[in-house]
Amino acid sequence: MKKIFVTFFSVLISISAISQDIQYRKDDRLQNVKEDRFNYYQVNRISETDMLKALEMLGVRIFDIPISPAFEKEYKFSVKLEEYVDSKKINSEDIAFARQGKNTYVHFYDNVPYFDYISKFTVFTHENDTLQVLKIDYYGGSRSGIKLKKNKIREWQSYEWRAYSKIDWKLNEEVPLLVYASSWYDERFNVERFCGVADLSLDEEATKELLDFSPHYFVISLKVSE
């Protein structure tokens, strides 16, 4: 028993001596080094693009839509989702329930409420075998659970997103922002085809090809009206 007590007392003395030698020093290391000191996740090498690609492997895409030029007064504001089969519109709905259908939202400064104009919104998408599920976020609100049902009749048939880079709104007109479209079968070459242009604003001919040949697609558009 005496031997155990002496050993325990010696350990306490050692810990006390070590503690006295430790001094305070601010940890100036980068936050990612603090959180991953052995660089297991290679944060110093992985870019935001890599992260977005990883999300895409999980079926997730993010589309940030700036509204340009910025609003200068109050208008009616709607984000339209339209479905087409064989280039014919079969369904249309408003997927953004902004405050009173207007382009305004409320924010607070010193606990006083103020109005401002919506200048952007974000579309989050998640894909599975049969559906594309959307959530749309904008200042002052959001809507989730928007379902885009696929109509796949061939094994290699796929659906892809394509975007427009020129999204300047025009009063009382629907301005297309995003297209979610099916590939089509090319009998001439016996292959499944899809438009290779990522930006539909840059190639009018390729955009027309996509909308003419895709048997099933959805268009998300912005409409600002008086």
Report pLDDT for 51: 93
Task: Please give the mean pLDDT across all residues of the chain.
Answer: 88
In a domain, 1, yes or no: no
Using CA atoms, how far apart are residues 161 and 80, in angstroms rounded to an integer?
16
- Per the structure, the count of domains in the chain is 1
Q: What's the whole-number mean pLDDT along residues 141-151?
A: 94
Q: What's the whole-number mean pLDDT along residues 163-187?
A: 93
In a domain, 13, yes or no: no
Report pLDDT for 16: 55
Report pLDDT for 5: 47
Q: What's the whole-number mean pLDDT along residues 207-221?
A: 96
In a domain, 7, yes or no: no
In a domain, 182, yes or no: yes
Using CA atoms, how far apart are residues 134 and 117, in angstroms rounded to an integer?
23
Please name the residue that has the structure tokens 């001439």.
188
Tens of pLDDT along 82-137? 999 999 999 999 998 777 888 888 989 999 999 999 989 999 999 999 999 999 99
For the ranges 3-7, 35-39, 74-78, which has the lowest average pLDDT?
3-7
Sequence-separated (6 or more) residues with CB below 8 Å from residue 163: 63, 177, 178, 179, 198, 199, 200
Tens of pLDDT along 64-81? 999 877 788 899 989 999
Report pLDDT for 19: 53
Using CA atoms, how far apart are residues 75 and 139, in angstroms rounded to an integer?
15
In order, the DSSP letters of the chain are -HHHHHHHHHHHHHHHHHHHH-------S-HHHHHTTT-TT-TTT--HHHHHHHHHHTTEEEEEEE-SSPP-S--EEEEEEEEEETTEEEEEEE----GGGBSEEEEEETTEEEEEE--EEEEEEEE-SSEEEEEEEETTEEEEEEEEE----STT--EEEEE-S-----BTSEEEEEEEEE-EEETTTTEEE----SBTTS-HHHHHHHHHH-SEEEEEEEEEE-
In a domain, 175, yes or no: yes
In a domain, 76, yes or no: yes
Report pLDDT for 20: 59
Q: What's the whole-number mean pLDDT along residues 174-192?
A: 94
Q: What's the whole-number mean pLDDT along residues 47-54?
A: 93
Q: What pTM value is reported for the model?
A: 0.83
Report pLDDT for 177: 96
Using CA atoms, how far apart are residues 44 and 91, in angstroms rounded to an integer?
47
In a domain, 125, yes or no: yes
In a domain, 217, yes or no: yes
Report pLDDT for 132: 97
pLDDT-derived band of residue 32, with 50, 70 and 90 as boundaries? confident
Q: Which residue has the higher pLDDT, 21 or 144?
A: 144
Report pLDDT for 26: 78
Q: Which residue has the higher pLDDT, 3 or 96?
A: 96
Using CA atoms, how far apart are residues 124 and 148, in angstroms rounded to an integer?
13
Domain hosting residue 113, numbered range: 48-225
